[in-house]
Chain A
Protein backbone atom coordinates (compact mmCIF):
# COMPACT_ATOMS: atom_id res chain seq x y z
CA UNK A 1 0.00 0.00 0.00
CA UNK A 2 1.50 3.35 -1.00
CA UNK A 3 1.53 6.33 1.34
CA UNK A 4 -0.03 9.72 0.70
CA UNK A 5 3.46 11.13 0.20
CA UNK A 6 4.13 8.57 -2.55
CA UNK A 7 0.72 9.30 -4.03
CA UNK A 8 1.60 12.99 -4.43
CA UNK A 9 5.13 12.23 -5.64
CA UNK A 10 3.89 10.06 -8.49
CA UNK A 11 0.66 11.90 -9.28
CA UNK A 12 1.91 13.48 -12.48
CA UNK A 13 3.37 10.22 -13.73
CA UNK A 14 0.09 8.44 -12.97
CA UNK A 15 -2.04 11.02 -14.82
CA UNK A 16 0.42 10.93 -17.72
CA UNK A 17 0.09 7.15 -18.01
CA UNK A 18 3.78 6.71 -17.25
CA UNK A 19 3.55 4.36 -14.28
CA UNK A 20 4.13 0.65 -14.87
CA UNK A 21 0.88 -1.29 -14.40
CA UNK A 22 1.81 -2.69 -10.98
CA UNK A 23 2.52 0.77 -9.58
CA UNK A 24 -0.56 2.20 -11.30
CA UNK A 25 -2.70 -0.51 -9.68
CA UNK A 26 -1.25 0.38 -6.25
CA UNK A 27 -2.03 3.98 -7.04
CA UNK A 28 -5.65 3.18 -7.88
CA UNK A 29 -6.01 1.13 -4.66
CA UNK A 30 -4.81 4.14 -2.68
CA UNK A 31 -7.34 6.38 -4.42
CA UNK A 32 -10.09 3.93 -3.44
CA UNK A 33 -9.05 3.97 0.20
CA UNK A 34 -7.96 7.53 0.91
CA UNK A 35 -10.55 10.36 0.75
CA UNK A 36 -7.99 13.17 1.32
CA UNK A 37 -5.98 11.92 -1.67
CA UNK A 38 -9.12 11.67 -3.81
CA UNK A 39 -9.69 15.28 -2.95
CA UNK A 40 -6.08 16.21 -3.65
CA UNK A 41 -6.32 14.54 -7.06
CA UNK A 42 -9.50 16.49 -7.86
CA UNK A 43 -7.92 19.81 -6.93
CA UNK A 44 -4.74 18.94 -8.84
CA UNK A 45 -6.85 18.33 -11.95
CA UNK A 46 -8.70 21.61 -11.33
CA UNK A 47 -5.35 23.35 -11.09
CA UNK A 48 -4.45 22.13 -14.57
CA UNK A 49 -7.80 23.32 -15.97
CA UNK A 50 -7.48 26.73 -14.31
CA UNK A 51 -3.89 27.36 -15.40
CA UNK A 52 -4.59 26.42 -19.01
CA UNK A 53 -7.34 29.03 -19.20
CA UNK A 54 -5.57 31.69 -17.17
CA UNK A 55 -4.19 33.52 -20.18
CA UNK A 56 -7.20 33.13 -22.47
CA UNK A 57 -8.49 36.67 -22.08
CA UNK A 58 -4.96 38.08 -22.17
CA UNK A 59 -4.71 36.92 -25.78
CA UNK A 60 -7.84 38.97 -26.53
CA UNK A 61 -6.55 42.04 -24.70
CA UNK A 62 -3.25 41.95 -26.58
CA UNK A 63 -4.70 41.43 -30.06
CA UNK A 64 -3.66 44.87 -31.20
CA UNK A 65 -0.07 45.94 -30.62
CA UNK A 66 0.51 49.47 -29.29
CA UNK A 67 1.25 51.79 -32.19
CA UNK A 68 4.47 53.15 -30.70
CA UNK A 69 5.80 49.59 -30.35
CA UNK A 70 4.99 48.87 -34.00
CA UNK A 71 6.78 52.05 -35.08
CA UNK A 72 9.81 51.24 -32.89
CA UNK A 73 10.05 47.74 -34.37
CA UNK A 74 9.83 49.00 -37.95
CA UNK A 75 12.35 51.74 -37.23
CA UNK A 76 14.82 49.16 -35.85
CA UNK A 77 14.54 47.25 -39.10
CA UNK A 78 15.82 50.27 -40.92
CA UNK A 79 18.84 50.64 -38.60
CA UNK A 80 19.80 46.94 -38.57
CA UNK A 81 22.99 46.15 -40.54
Chain B
Protein backbone atom coordinates (compact mmCIF):
# COMPACT_ATOMS: atom_id res chain seq x y z
CA UNK B 1 0.00 0.00 0.00
CA UNK B 2 2.76 2.43 0.97
CA UNK B 3 4.57 1.92 -2.32
CA UNK B 4 1.36 2.54 -4.26
CA UNK B 5 0.73 5.73 -2.27
CA UNK B 6 4.29 6.91 -2.89
CA UNK B 7 3.73 6.36 -6.60
CA UNK B 8 0.66 8.59 -6.33
CA UNK B 9 -1.85 5.98 -7.38
CA UNK B 10 -5.36 7.45 -7.14
CA UNK B 11 -6.90 4.09 -6.37
CA UNK B 12 -4.52 3.61 -3.45
CA UNK B 13 -5.49 6.99 -1.99
CA UNK B 14 -9.15 6.16 -2.30
CA UNK B 15 -8.57 2.81 -0.63
CA UNK B 16 -6.71 4.57 2.19
CA UNK B 17 -9.45 7.10 2.77
CA UNK B 18 -12.26 4.54 2.66
CA UNK B 19 -10.40 2.25 5.06
CA UNK B 20 -9.76 4.90 7.72
CA UNK B 21 -12.06 7.91 7.39
CA UNK B 22 -14.97 6.33 9.26
CA UNK B 23 -12.96 5.58 12.35
CA UNK B 24 -11.22 8.96 12.16
CA UNK B 25 -14.64 10.62 12.05
CA UNK B 26 -15.63 8.76 15.23
CA UNK B 27 -12.46 9.93 17.01
CA UNK B 28 -12.86 13.56 15.91
CA UNK B 29 -16.52 13.61 16.96
CA UNK B 30 -15.60 12.57 20.53
CA UNK B 31 -13.46 15.68 20.92
CA UNK B 32 -15.47 18.19 18.94
CA UNK B 33 -19.03 17.12 19.73
CA UNK B 34 -20.23 18.36 16.35
CA UNK B 35 -20.34 15.89 13.46
CA UNK B 36 -19.88 18.74 11.00
CA UNK B 37 -16.77 20.05 12.71
CA UNK B 38 -15.49 16.51 12.98
CA UNK B 39 -15.79 16.11 9.20
CA UNK B 40 -13.71 19.27 8.76
CA UNK B 41 -11.11 17.92 11.19
CA UNK B 42 -10.90 14.64 9.27
CA UNK B 43 -10.39 16.57 6.04
CA UNK B 44 -7.64 18.59 7.76
CA UNK B 45 -6.09 15.34 8.96
CA UNK B 46 -6.02 13.74 5.52
CA UNK B 47 -4.68 16.91 3.94
CA UNK B 48 -1.82 16.84 6.45
CA UNK B 49 -1.30 13.14 5.83
CA UNK B 50 -1.16 13.58 2.06
CA UNK B 51 1.42 16.36 2.43
CA UNK B 52 3.54 14.26 4.75
CA UNK B 53 3.09 10.89 3.13
CA UNK B 54 6.66 10.96 1.84
CA UNK B 55 7.94 11.32 5.40
CA UNK B 56 5.91 8.36 6.73
CA UNK B 57 8.41 5.55 6.85
CA UNK B 58 6.14 2.87 8.26
CA UNK B 59 7.62 3.03 11.74
CA UNK B 60 4.11 2.91 13.15
CA UNK B 61 1.10 1.34 11.49
CA UNK B 62 -0.57 3.62 8.98
CA UNK B 63 -3.85 3.51 10.92
CA UNK B 64 -2.09 4.52 14.14
CA UNK B 65 -0.37 7.39 12.36
CA UNK B 66 -3.63 8.63 10.88
CA UNK B 67 -5.30 8.31 14.27
CA UNK B 68 -2.69 10.57 15.86
CA UNK B 69 -3.01 13.12 13.06
CA UNK B 70 -6.78 13.13 13.62
CA UNK B 71 -6.45 13.76 17.35
CA UNK B 72 -4.08 16.65 16.58
CA UNK B 73 -6.45 18.09 14.00
CA UNK B 74 -9.38 17.92 16.44
CA UNK B 75 -7.36 19.59 19.20
CA UNK B 76 -6.29 22.37 16.82
CA UNK B 77 -9.93 23.04 16.01
CA UNK B 78 -10.78 23.10 19.71
CA UNK B 79 -8.05 25.70 20.32
CA UNK B 80 -9.32 27.80 17.45
CA UNK B 81 -12.82 28.01 18.94
CA UNK B 82 -13.79 31.31 20.50
CA UNK B 83 -12.35 31.72 23.97
CA UNK B 84 -15.48 31.44 26.07
CA UNK B 85 -14.90 31.12 29.80
CA UNK B 86 -15.11 27.45 30.66
CA UNK B 87 -17.73 26.39 33.16
CA UNK B 88 -16.32 25.39 36.52
CA UNK B 89 -15.91 21.73 37.42
CA UNK B 90 -16.22 22.45 41.16
CA UNK B 91 -19.91 21.59 41.41
CA UNK B 92 -19.22 18.15 39.97
CA UNK B 93 -16.53 17.30 42.52
CA UNK B 94 -17.27 15.67 45.89
CA UNK B 95 -17.58 18.10 48.81
CA UNK B 96 -16.36 17.63 52.35
CA UNK B 97 -17.02 19.30 55.67
CA UNK B 98 -14.36 20.66 58.02
CA UNK B 99 -13.72 17.20 59.47
CA UNK B 100 -12.98 15.79 56.01
CA UNK B 101 -16.21 13.78 55.77
CA UNK B 102 -18.33 13.80 52.66
CA UNK B 103 -21.31 16.16 52.80
CA UNK B 104 -23.20 13.75 50.55
CA UNK B 105 -22.27 10.11 51.14
CA UNK B 106 -22.47 8.04 47.94
CA UNK B 107 -25.41 5.70 47.32
CA UNK B 108 -25.41 2.38 45.51
CA UNK B 109 -25.75 2.22 41.74
CA UNK B 110 -28.38 0.08 40.06
CA UNK B 111 -26.62 -3.06 38.88
CA UNK B 112 -22.92 -3.57 38.26
CA UNK B 113 -21.09 -1.71 35.55
CA UNK B 114 -20.72 -4.79 33.37
CA UNK B 115 -24.45 -5.46 33.48
CA UNK B 116 -25.20 -1.83 32.79
CA UNK B 117 -22.91 -1.93 29.78
CA UNK B 118 -25.01 -4.61 28.17
CA UNK B 119 -27.62 -1.98 27.48
CA UNK B 120 -26.80 0.12 24.45
CA UNK B 121 -28.70 2.95 26.09
CA UNK B 122 -26.22 2.92 28.98
CA UNK B 123 -23.30 3.61 26.67
CA UNK B 124 -25.21 6.56 25.17
CA UNK B 125 -25.86 7.89 28.69
CA UNK B 126 -22.17 7.62 29.55
CA UNK B 127 -21.18 9.44 26.35
CA UNK B 128 -23.61 12.26 27.14
CA UNK B 129 -22.13 12.56 30.64
CA UNK B 130 -18.62 12.77 29.19
CA UNK B 131 -19.84 15.51 26.85
CA UNK B 132 -21.07 17.48 29.88
CA UNK B 133 -17.59 17.76 31.33
CA UNK B 134 -15.90 21.16 30.92
CA UNK B 135 -13.92 20.96 27.69
CA UNK B 136 -10.39 21.09 29.09
CA UNK B 137 -11.20 18.21 31.45
CA UNK B 138 -13.00 16.25 28.77
CA UNK B 139 -9.99 16.51 26.45
CA UNK B 140 -7.61 15.10 29.08
CA UNK B 141 -10.04 12.30 29.94
CA UNK B 142 -10.45 11.38 26.28
CA UNK B 143 -6.72 11.48 25.58
CA UNK B 144 -5.73 9.43 28.65
CA UNK B 145 -8.59 7.04 29.20
CA UNK B 146 -10.11 6.59 25.72
CA UNK B 147 -7.22 7.26 23.32
CA UNK B 148 -4.87 5.67 25.92
CA UNK B 149 -2.06 8.16 25.42
CA UNK B 150 0.41 8.33 28.28
CA UNK B 151 0.80 11.35 30.57
CA UNK B 152 3.79 12.77 28.70
CA UNK B 153 2.12 12.57 25.29
CA UNK B 154 -1.05 14.11 26.70
CA UNK B 155 1.01 16.91 28.25
CA UNK B 156 2.70 17.56 24.93
CA UNK B 157 -0.58 17.72 23.03
CA UNK B 158 -2.39 19.92 25.55
CA UNK B 159 0.49 22.18 26.58
CA UNK B 160 -0.04 21.21 30.22
CA UNK B 161 2.66 19.97 32.56
CA UNK B 162 2.58 16.22 33.33
CA UNK B 163 1.57 17.06 36.90
CA UNK B 164 -1.33 19.20 35.67
CA UNK B 165 -2.45 16.38 33.37
CA UNK B 166 -2.63 14.01 36.34
CA UNK B 167 -4.61 16.48 38.44
CA UNK B 168 -6.96 17.27 35.61
CA UNK B 169 -7.52 13.59 34.80
CA UNK B 170 -8.35 12.79 38.41
CA UNK B 171 -10.81 15.70 38.65
CA UNK B 172 -12.38 14.72 35.32
CA UNK B 173 -12.92 11.16 36.56
CA UNK B 174 -14.41 12.38 39.85
CA UNK B 175 -16.73 14.72 37.97
CA UNK B 176 -17.76 11.95 35.59
CA UNK B 177 -18.46 9.72 38.57
CA UNK B 178 -20.78 12.41 39.95
CA UNK B 179 -22.63 12.71 36.64
CA UNK B 180 -22.99 8.94 36.32
CA UNK B 181 -24.21 8.71 39.93
CA UNK B 182 -27.07 11.06 39.01
CA UNK B 183 -28.08 8.53 36.37
CA UNK B 184 -27.45 5.24 38.11
CA UNK B 185 -27.91 5.75 41.84
CA UNK B 186 -30.68 3.70 43.39
CA UNK B 187 -33.47 6.10 44.30
CA UNK B 188 -34.93 6.31 47.82
- Shortest Cβ distance from residue B24 to the other chain A in the assembled complex, whole angstroms: 8
CB distance from A43 to the nearest CB of B (A): 6
Q: Which residues does chain A contribute within 8 Å of B113, judged by CB atoms?
A: 45-46, 49-50
Contacts of B17 in A (CB 8 A): 65, 70, 73-74
Interface residues as binary, B92-122 with A (CB distance below 8 Å gives 1, 0 otherwise): 0010100111100111110011101100101
B69 at the interface (CB under 8 A from A): no
Q: Residue on B with the closest CB to A2?
A: B100
> Which residue in chain A gives the minimum CB-CB distance to B171?
A12
Q: Report the minimum CB–CB distance from B131 to chain A (whole Å).
A: 10
Task: Give A46's nearest chain B residue, CB to CB.
Answer: B113
B contact set with A: CB distance below 8 Å = 10, 13-14, 17-18, 21-26, 29-30, 39, 42-43, 46-47, 50-51, 94, 96, 99-102, 105-109, 112-114, 116-117, 120, 122-123, 126-127, 130, 141, 145-146, 166, 169-170, 173-174, 176-177, 180-181
Beyond A5-B101, A43-B181, A50-B180, 18 additional contacts (C-beta under 8 Å) are A5-B100, A12-B173, A39-B108, A43-B180, A44-B177, A46-B112, A47-B176, A48-B145, A49-B113, A51-B126, A52-B146, A53-B126, A55-B26, A64-B18, A72-B43, A73-B42, A74-B14, A80-B50
Task: List 22 A-B pairs, Cβ < 8 Å.
Answer: A3-B96, A3-B99, A8-B102, A8-B174, A36-B102, A43-B106, A45-B113, A49-B117, A50-B113, A53-B123, A54-B146, A55-B127, A58-B127, A62-B29, A63-B23, A65-B17, A65-B22, A69-B25, A73-B42, A74-B13, A77-B13, A77-B50
